[in-house]
C-alpha cells in the first residue's frame, strides 16, 4: 500500500491508527475537496453538520467564523484532535451518528464511511429532512440505489424517500487514488437539494410505511399491507378507488402512487 507521510505522522502524533471497521478512508485529493465546497456553496450564517470529519480533510476548509458547525465522529482520538483544532463556533459530538438527536441544520456534509452509508443516509433523510442541501461522497453503487426507478432491483424505501424529499445531482466519480488508504471501489460525489421541505413528523411515519410496504418484495401490495388495520376486502376496495390493482408488486409503484397509497391508509397505521 502507498504511504502518505503527512497523515501517517499526524496519526502517530495522536497515537491513533486507521480503523477499517470504521470505514476510515481519508480524502487526499484537493480537486475533489474544492469541488465539494464549490458544490456546497455555503452562505454566511448557515449551520453545517459534518458526519465523520476524521482528520479534517473537509473540515479545515470550513469558514468557521461565518457558520455554526456541528460534527459527529465515532473515533475517540480523531474527535479529541478535532475538538482541539477547530474551536470557533463548533460543537464536536463524540459518537455514532446513527444515534444523533435530530436538530435543525441548513447543510450536511460527509465523506461517508462505506460500511454504514445506507444507514447514515436513512438517518439523515428520516430525522433531518428539513435541511436545505447536502453534499456526500459515497460508493458509486450507493448512488445507483438512490436514483433507482420503479422496476429497478435497487428501487426501494431509501430511493423513494430521498427522491420524494428532493433532487439528486451526481457531481463526479472519484477514483480510489483520491483516498488514503485506497478503497477497492470507485466513489461518487453527489448533491442533494431539498425542494419539498417535508418535516420530520411527515418523513418518519412515511419511511416506516415504506419499510413495511417493501418488507417482502415477492409479495403483492395487498399481502404487504398486513400491518394496516382493516379487512383485506376493504383494503382491496381502497386500492381500487386509487386505480391501483392489489396484485401489483411494491417495486412497480411510482413514487406518486406510493404517496397515494400512504395517504389513503395512513390513518389505519398503528405506529
Ligand atoms: N471526512 C474525513 C475525510 O474525508 O478524510 C474522513 C472520512 S472517512 C471515509 C469516515 C469517517 O467517519 C471516519 O473518520 C470514521 O471514524 C467516521 N465514522 C465511521 N462510522 C461513524 C459513525 N457511525 N458515526 C460517526 N462517524 C463515523
Mean pLDDT on 216-225 = 94
Q: Whose CA is nearest to atom 12 of ligand 1?
A: 52
Mean pLDDT on 125-142 = 95
Tell whether the model's pLDDT for residue 197 goes beyond 90: no
pLDDT digits (tens, 9 = 90+) for 80-99: 999 999 999 999 999 999 99
If pLDDT is split at 50, 70 and 90, which confidence band does 129 have? confident
**What distance in angstroms lies between residue 26's CA and the mean position of ligand 1's atoms?**
9
Tell whether the model's pLDDT for residue 271 goes beyond 80: no
**CA–CA distances in Å: residue 240 to residues 34, 118, 228, 256, 260:** 52, 34, 16, 16, 12
Model pLDDT, residue 196: 86
Q: How high does pLDDT run on average in the chain? A: 96
Model pLDDT, residue 177: 97
Mean pLDDT on 146-150 = 97
Buried b / exposed e across 86-104, counting CB within 10 Å, b at 16+? beebbebbeeebeebeeee
**What distance in angstroms lies between residue 233's CA and the mean position of ligand 1's atoms?**
49
pLDDT digits (tens, 9 = 90+) for 227-257: 999 999 999 999 999 999 999 999 999 999 9
Task: Tell me the C-alpha distance between 105 and 228, whole Å.
Answer: 34
- Structural domains of the chain, ranges and CATH numbers in brackets: 5-198 (3.40.50.150), 216-268 (1.10.8)
**What are the pocket residues of ligand 1 if the criterion is a CB atom closer than 6 Å to any ligand atom?**
22-27, 51-54, 57-58, 72-75, 78, 96-98, 111, 113, 116
Cell of 35: 469541488
In which element (H, E) is residue 164 found?
helix 157-165
Tell whether the model's pLDDT for residue 1 goes beyond 70: no
Higher pLDDT, 43 or 269: 43
Per DSSP, what are the bridge partners of residue 70?
49, 91
Tell whether the model's pLDDT for residue 21 goes beyond 90: yes
Q: Taking Cα atoms as reference points, which of 98, 188, 96 lies closest to residue 138?
A: 188
Q: What percent of the chain has pLDDT over 70?
A: 100
Amino acid at each position: 500500500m502507498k504511504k502518505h507521510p503527512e497523515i501517517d505522522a499526524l496519526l502517530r502524533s495522536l497515537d491513533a491508527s486507521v480503523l477499517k471497521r470504521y470505514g476510515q478512508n481519508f480524502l487526499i485529493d484537493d480537486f475533489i475537496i474544492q469541488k465539494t465546497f464549490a458544490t456546497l456553496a455555503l452562505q454566511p450564517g448557515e449551520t453545517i453538520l459534518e458526519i465523520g470529519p476524521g482528520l479534517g480533510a473537509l473540515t479545515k476548509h470550513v469558514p468557521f467564523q461565518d457558520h455554526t458547525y456541528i460534527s459527529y465522529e465515532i473515533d475517540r482520538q480523531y474527535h479529541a484532535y478535532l475538538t482541539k483544532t477547530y474551536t470557533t463556533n463548533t460543537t464536536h459530538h463524540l459518537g455514532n451518528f446513527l444515534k444523533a438527536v435530530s436538530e435543525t441544520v441548513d447543510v450536511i456534509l460527509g465523506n461517508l464511511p462505506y460500511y454504514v452509508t445506507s444507514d447514515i443516509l436513512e438517518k439523515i433523510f428520516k430525522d433531518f429532512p428539513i435541511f436545505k442541501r447536502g453534499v456526500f461522497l459515497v460508493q458509486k453503487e450507493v448512488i445507483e440505489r438512490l436514483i433507482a426507478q420503479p422496476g429497478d432491483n435497487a428501487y426501494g424505501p431509501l430511493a423513494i424517500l430521498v427522491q420524494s424529499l428532493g433532487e439528486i445531482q451526481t457531481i463526479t466519480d472519484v477514483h480510489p487514488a483520491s483516498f488514503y488508504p485506497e478503497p477497492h471501489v470507485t466513489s461518487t460525489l453527489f448533491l442533494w437539494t431539498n425542494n419539498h421541505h417535508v418535516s420530520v413528523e411527515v418523513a418518519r411515519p412515511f419511511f416506516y410505511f415504506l419499510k413495511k410496504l417493501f418488507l417482502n418484495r415477492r409479495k403483492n401490495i395487498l399481502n404487504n399491507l398486513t400491518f394496516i388495520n382493516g379487512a383485506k376486502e376493504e383494503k382491496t376496495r381502497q386500492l381500487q378507488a386509487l386505480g391501483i390493482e392489489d396484485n401489483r408488486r411494491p417495486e412497480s409503484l411510482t413514487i406518486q402512487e406510493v404517496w397515494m397509497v400512504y395517504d389513503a391508509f395512513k390513518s389505519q397505521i398503528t405506529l
